[in-house]
A and B are shown apart, each in its own frame.
Chain A
């Protein structure tokens, strides 16, 4: 005790001038002294405190007053708060207890020697204790013996498993090398096949784009002509101010009248012919322009005429173009699905499996596309249709060849993935610390349950731990595999699962498992000593100790 030691310090400066002690303590000098130290308590004139801090008259030893700073002058009394009392405990193990347990009315030594001065009657329980202790020791030894046998089995299995894993790893690594080479070959082949394919596709695309430009020009021209004819109500092939003035929708300031001046400023003259209309007027008015209400028959007739014209023009143009390029018929497909085009229109699907799938989808679209084109033309509308014509046979063939090369490549690549994954898994397994000699290898990929009143606790070793409510409700993860956390001399006595689900108003849950020797792998107890910090007691042969298994106490041995 802090205070007393201060006082003791001051005692050391004393000049002893008197030796009368008024105490009436029975002087049993060697009381509480273990045999190993008895030589230090030889009856001499003085006693040297065991820490060497001072020397005191011998009669101060065990006189029920604390003189030495280390409490060594009072081995047999409670005078020194930091002293030690040795219980001989004949028939059992001699033990040293703190001095404050001496004479406190509670029997702490099995021989009762700590209560020599009190009225408490302590039965000598050393013999029974020794018997019990021997029995317990033997039971424990046997448990460890049985456990160690199992543990060794696990360790042997672990060695086998480790070498099997190593062999398998080697095998896989070799395989990987082989298929890696294969993959390179297939890649080269793929590239070889893809080059002409993409060239052909590009060509096809270019052609399509040109065709589309022509189509657009024709459509523009047709629209212009139609509009001209429409405005030219007197069919004199001139659009006059009067004719245009009827189209009040073209008046930019809607408040006033559509004046002659305003009309003239649009026409740029008093009247314009078709060419002039095309150059100066059409662009100006095409956005606001509306047809005047007309008798429908006339319009229909006119429309038919126009449609026929468009059709003819289109045919001519197509013939002209196809003969100038590859000379094959043009088939069109929808531009939006044409993923060899500009990549920005597409989500990247570099994975070949997806690639293939898309390719198939593209082919499916062809027929549909043709129908769409036809329909558009029938109605004389949608003249800006964006559909792309089908590939020609040659391109198709090139594509087929490329597809094949891609498929072959992908297949090998999948294999590489697979082997790599296997290698990774094996290496991960090899990385799991299953004990210094693989004694915990049996836990690999194992889960254990413990049933309690309200919950089942489930630990999946080296993975996670869960609390499963019996009354329904969702499982709660109480931790993910973290580390071995046992004491430094054997870290494999505890393991921790951390960062589980966070408690309401509290920390993330965690679990510490303490292992002890047992014949089987089994959860013995689960507690929550602090909210959200779980502790589990786990029996396993893996925690059995060979030293304990082999320390046999001779049954006739009197003392430990």
Chain B
């Protein structure tokens, strides 16, 4: 959240206007970033890079090493490492051999060393080797010119450097310095190579140019996704007429939508999907990056002539053109460390990526419920008043948040004691309603010898340094501030220890954490962040590691909360900045959006882009952070966000109050209904988060994930899926009484969750909507567990009975899952205390079986209702068996909607049972 309010004087200095949209001149274009300028224009007709096949060494099973040469500069040697990995994944590293400065290789992202699998290597001729490392995965390395082609199920899917844009700027001596003179003065002395200035900020660039560019081309694909964070389309736009998509974590004040500007976080991971395959490319690099995306056509004949195999069995002989998405990746520093995920299914790609970078551990149940936030709830009375408002209006809520004003002068881990004299009691009072609190801890540390966090960090030398070795100082909320160097494990651990109850006075076990401004935001820094030439632990420049900073902070916060409870309670941390792997320790929100319909609409593509790149616990501020939403926009936003993973209302300090009951009885009712719907689906959400922990598939998904062959879904960004069960189409237009919804999937049937009306797949339907409507549809074939009873907070419902909603497919079949545990501890992992049920409906029988019979969880929860949509006729008899018990529950049937409702079937959720309909 950007809070410039108190910094009006600073405003003048930074020249940030108070207008409603971003001042783009504060942020670099590609042309203003010298490496991007150089790389973007690098388009030779042929590549000067060649692989010396004779140099091939097998370092280990699954690891081959080659020498790569730049024929223009043969004295500079590169090393090419190919790692064939489990799960159809391939890692390709290219680095300088004996560079004059060690190049940064990203740490803290991969969860383990990737597992190698041996490849069958074949030398097809003197210029190529072919490697197959699974039935589905094959590579062909072309030596002269250097090029790497990848195949999944023998279908040519990815080609690297087929556009000759691979360009590796090796470290070199500055021309004119003593010792060796520069190799080629003209070339090495281009503007911006050895220093550059943006606005008033000078980048000393002591190591000169070090960027890497490469083209990665997706053959026969028309759609690529990912590389968040941008407020832009889900299926990435061509950047032919714009700047490339930028990856550089920045605090953009009042961001615009529909452009490739960098935002708060970065995941350098892209997926491509077509009817045949889903593949991915992940370049593990934390430096500033730019990515051009071009939708191209490729003449297959040209392609064939240079290849021994193409398109496998589906090879085309004619001279036709195939689509191709050409992507050009440019990073300022580091090495080339590319991971290729060969799919072939969407599910496979998600697993392949998360096997390397991790998943989101099942969040505490309350954290996927509703959160109430504001900059700021002013004092303890205010917090109590807000809590009472929810009670009075019978609106469920689980968490109330405190923004920066709760601290003593923006000294995090402290309280403004005049406003919050007894924070423990305040948290206990909330806990008495089953609710929790989140407070903010930003990464800037106020420069104040009287502030214990600062004093200790200062005396220990824990702060990030300038290039001259002094502590770096910048401005943020508290005024002059310094930043902890989380790259040093000791410092990171020290930060984690700040969260102990002893160190964080006034915190209780019901207090959780929000990390904002962690790009980091530095009000007087270049592009409102760190200068590139400041120095982190190990001597690495911010240039090398920039995009990791936020993740290191929220990771340390997460571990602090784990340690605080001695490993028992699951933490909750929300972060604004993120990188690949952030999913392991934080939820992410889309930062400082605005109260505009366009921002409500863009939330879906933004959240989808995050979800497909592994950041699965994501949301956008309900109502829009800046500005005042009218009642209609606010209601629609609640309705949309009730079906998005992270559900929080938040507002800027300058906005009018917008608690749910402030917009008249009608709107209060509509908002209550939306929040109640969220709570009713919490068993489903919770199950999805658990399965996400197991298989890497996020709860919020693009339609193509479940309908990979339905071309109509490839660009869909107005609707999305929750798991494989619900299709959600948020209403994002101000004045509309009809929406046009595409229902995916041939032979698929969809059931309106409110009216039970059926819709056929592969069809677009015009749906009438009023302010009550949240167009959500259950997929025929899905069984969804719900809790239709109401509670004031999610944790109070964990033993409440379950309703199973069975939506039958065309074959009268369906299946689904239910995961339950205590909702807040690690007992599910450490003591195996949970239940994970599998429900199948087939041949008029609904069965509940355990997916993990060794797991145990004590609960009174029982099945109170089974609703079956699409059941063809009123049955004569329904029976239920559980062990040696039998019962004949009552049922009712509604002809018009083909809905069968079974009253009080009664078994415990933990039991195996079979329901038979006759």
Does the CB pair A22–B887 fall under 8 Å?
Answer: yes
Tell me if B768 is interfacial: C-beta within 8 Å of chain A: no
Please tell me if B382 contacts chain A, counting CB pairs below 8 Å.
yes
The answer to the question of B81 belonging to the interface, with a C-beta cut-off of 8 Å to chain A, is no
Cβ of B891 within 8 Å of any chain A Cβ, yes or no, is: yes
* A100 and B791 contact, CB distance less than 8 A: yes
Contact B906 A11 (CB under 8 A): no
Q: Is A471 an interface residue (CB 8 A)?
A: no
Q: Is the CB of B654 within 8 A of A505?
A: yes
Closest to A100 in B: B790
- Taken residue by residue from 510 to 546, chain A's Cβ proximity to chain B (1 for < 8 Å, 0 otherwise) reads as 0000000000000000011111010000000000000
Minimum C-beta distance from B823 to chain A (A): 13
Stretch at the interface among B70-78, B195-203, B517-525, B673-681: B673-681
Q: Given A13-B892, A14-B890, A81-B788, do A1 and B680 touch, yes or no (CB 8 Å)? A: yes
B505: Cβ under 8 A from any A Cβ = no
Are the CB atoms of A20 and B887 closer together than 8 Å? Answer: yes
Tell whether A1 pairs with B864 under 8 Å between CB atoms, given A10-B901, A11-B903. no
Asked if B765 is at the interface (CB within 8 A of a chain A CB), the reply is: no
Q: How far is the CA of A20 from the CA of B789 in the complex (A)?
A: 23
Q: Is B889 an interface residue (CB 8 A)?
A: yes
Contact, CB under 8 Å: A3 / B394: no
Q: Is A4 an interface residue (CB 8 A)?
A: yes
**B792-A100 in contact (CB<8A):** yes
Contact of B654 among A65, A81, A531 (CB under 8 A): A531
Q: Are B788 and A529 in contact (CB under 8 A)?
A: no
Q: Mark A1-20, 1 if CB is under 8 A from B, else 0.
A: 11110110011111011111
Q: Mask for A91-130, Cβ within 8 A of B = 1, else 0?
A: 0000000111100111000000000000000000000000
| Seed contacts A2-B673, A13-B894; 15 additional CB < 8 Å A-B pairs | A1-B673, A2-B676, A3-B753, A7-B865, A10-B892, A10-B897, A10-B901, A11-B901, A20-B887, A21-B890, A78-B791, A81-B790, A100-B789, A507-B656, A529-B382
Residues of the B chain whose Cβ atoms lie less than 8 Å from the Cβ of A453:
418
A2 to B756, CA, bound (A): 13
In chain B, positions 439-488 with a C-beta closer than 8 Å to chain A are none
| Cβ of B8 under 8 Å from chain A | yes
Q: Is B433 an interface residue (CB 8 A)?
A: yes
CA A312 to CA B382, docked complex, whole Å: 99
Tell whether B136 is near chain A: CB-to-CB under 8 Å.
no
9 pairs from A and B in contact (CB 8 Å cutoff): A13-B893, A18-B890, A21-B890, A22-B880, A23-B862, A104-B434, A104-B791, A106-B434, A453-B418
Residues of A within 8 A of B755 (CB): 6
Q: Is the CB of A22 within 8 A of B654?
A: no
State the main secondary structure of chain A at its contact with B.
Answer: loop
Binding site for A on B (CB under 8 A): 5, 8, 18, 378, 382, 394, 418, 432-434, 653-657, 673, 676-677, 680, 753-756, 772, 786, 788-792, 796-797, 800-801, 862, 864-865, 867, 876-877, 880, 885, 887-894, 897, 899, 901, 903-907
Contact between chains at A504 and B8 (CB < 8 Å) = yes
Q: Which residues of A contact B (CB under 8 A)?
A: 1-4, 6-7, 10-14, 16-23, 63-65, 78-79, 81, 98-101, 104-106, 453, 503-507, 527-531, 533
- In the assembled complex, how far is the CB of residue A60 from the closest CB belonging to chain B, in whole angstroms? 9
A251 nearest CB across to chain B (Å): 67
Separation of A101 and B793 alpha carbons in the complex (Å) = 10
Given contacts A14-B891, A22-B905, A100-B792, contact A505 B434 (CB under 8 A): no
Collect the chain B residues with CB atoms within 8 Å of residue A1's CB: 673, 676, 680, 788, 790
Q: How far, in Å, is A390 (CB) from chain B's closest CB?
A: 66
B864 touches A3 (CB 8 A): no
Residues of the A chain whose Cβ atoms lie less than 8 Å from the Cβ of B673? 1-2
Residues of A within 8 A of B862 (CB): 23
A352 CB, min distance to chain B CBs, angstroms: 53
Contact B789 A81 (CB under 8 A): yes
A15 to B653, CA, bound (A): 57
Alpha-carbon separation in the docked complex, A1 to B18 (Å): 43
| Bound: A458/B893 CA distance, A | 68
A233 to chain B, nearest CB (A): 78
Query: For B889, what are the chain A residues with a Cβ–Cβ distance below 8 Å?
Result: 18, 20-22
Partner of A3, one of B378, B677, B894: B677
B892 touches A530 (CB 8 A): no
Q: Which residues of chain A are near B891, meaning CB under 8 Å?
A: 14
Q: Which residue of B lies closest to A4 (CB)?
A: B788
Q: How many angstroms between the C-alpha atoms of A100 and B396 in the bound complex?
A: 10
Task: Name which residue of chain A comes closest to B895, CB basis.
Answer: A13
Residue of A nearest to B419 (CB): A453
Interface pair A106/B432, CB less than 8 Å apart: yes
Contacts of B899 in A (CB 8 A): 10
- Complex: how many Å from CA A18 to CA B890? 6
* A7 adjacent to B8 (CB under 8 Å): no
Q: Which residue of B lies closest to A2 (CB)?
A: B673
Q: A518 to nearest B CB, angstroms?
A: 19
B792: chain A residues at CB < 8 Å are 100-101, 104
State whether A7 touches B434 (Cβ < 8 A): no
Q: Is the CB of B904 within 8 A of A22?
A: yes
Residues of chain A with a CB closer than 8 A to B903's CB: 11, 65
Judge whether B796 and A529 touch: CB under 8 Å.
no
What are the nearest 7 A-B pairs in CB distance?
A14-B892, A22-B906, A22-B887, A81-B790, A100-B790, A104-B796, A10-B894
Minimum CB–CB distance for A503 against chain B, Å = 8
A105 partner, pick from B772, B796, B894, beta carbons under 8 A = B796
Chain A residues with CB below 8 A from B887, complex form: 20-22
The answer, among B394, B788, B890, B907, for a CB contact under 8 Å with A7, is: B788
* Alpha-carbon distance A20/B889, docked complex (angstroms): 6
Q: Which of B433, B654, B680, B797 lies at the interface centre, i.e. has the most chain A CB atoms within 10 A of its CB?
A: B654
Chain B residues with CB under 8 A of A4: 788-789
**Complex Cα distance A530/B653, Å?**
8
In the complex, how many angstroms separate the beta carbon of B17 from the nearest chain A beta carbon? 11
B901 contact set on A, CB distance < 8 A: 7, 10-11
Q: What is the CA–CA distance of A88 and B223 in the complex, to the nearest angstrom?
A: 65
A467 to nearest B CB, angstroms? 16
Contacts of A2 in B (CB 8 A): 673, 676-677, 754, 772
Closest residue of chain A to B798, judged by CB?
A105
Inter-chain contacts of A529 with B (CB < 8 A) = 378, 382, 657
Residues of A contacting B786 in the complex (Cβ-Cβ under 8 angstroms):
3
Residue of B nearest to A504 (CB): B8
Shortest Cβ distance from A194 into chain B, in angstroms?
63
Q: Which of A4, A99, A504: most chain B Cβ within 10 A?
A: A4
Residues of B within 8 A of A530 (CB): 655-657
Tell me how far the C-beta of A283 lies from the nearest C-beta in chain B, rounded to whole angstroms: 68
Evaluate contact between B754 and A65: CB separation under 8 angstroms: no
State the CA gap A98–B796 with chains docked (Å).
15
Inter-subunit contact B789/A78 (CB<8 Å): yes
Complex Cα spacing A49 to B64, Å:
77
Nearest to A99 among chain B residues (CB) is B790
Contacts of B653 in A (CB 8 A): 531
Report whether A14 and B800 are in contact in the complex, using a CB–CB cutoff of 8 Å: no
Q: Say whether, besides A3-B680, A104-B796, A79 and B754 are in contact (CB < 8 Å).
A: no
Cα–Cα distance between A14 and B382 once the two chains are bound (Å): 49
A17 and B756 CA atoms in complex are apart in Å by 25
State A531–B376 Cα separation when bound (angstroms). Answer: 10
- Structural contact, A505 and B655, CB atoms closer than 8 A: no
**Cα(A14)–Cα(B901), bound, Å:** 9
CB atoms of B904 and A21 under 8 A apart: yes
Smallest CB gap from A79: residue in B: B789
A18 to B797, CA, bound (A): 30
Bound CA–CA A63/B904 (angstroms): 9
Q: Which residues of A contact B753 (CB under 8 A)?
A: 3
**Choice from A20, A504, A527 contacting B888 with Cβ under 8 Å:** A20
Contact of B864 among A11, A64, A101, A106 (CB under 8 A): A64
Whole-angstrom distance from the CB of A293 to the nearest CB of chain B?
68
Please give me the residue from chain B that is nearest to A14 by CB atom.
B892
Partner of B788, one of A3, A99, A106: A3
- When C-beta atoms are compared, the residue in chain A nearest to B907 turns out to be A22
Once the chains are docked, how many angstroms separate the CA of A250 from the CA of B885?
138
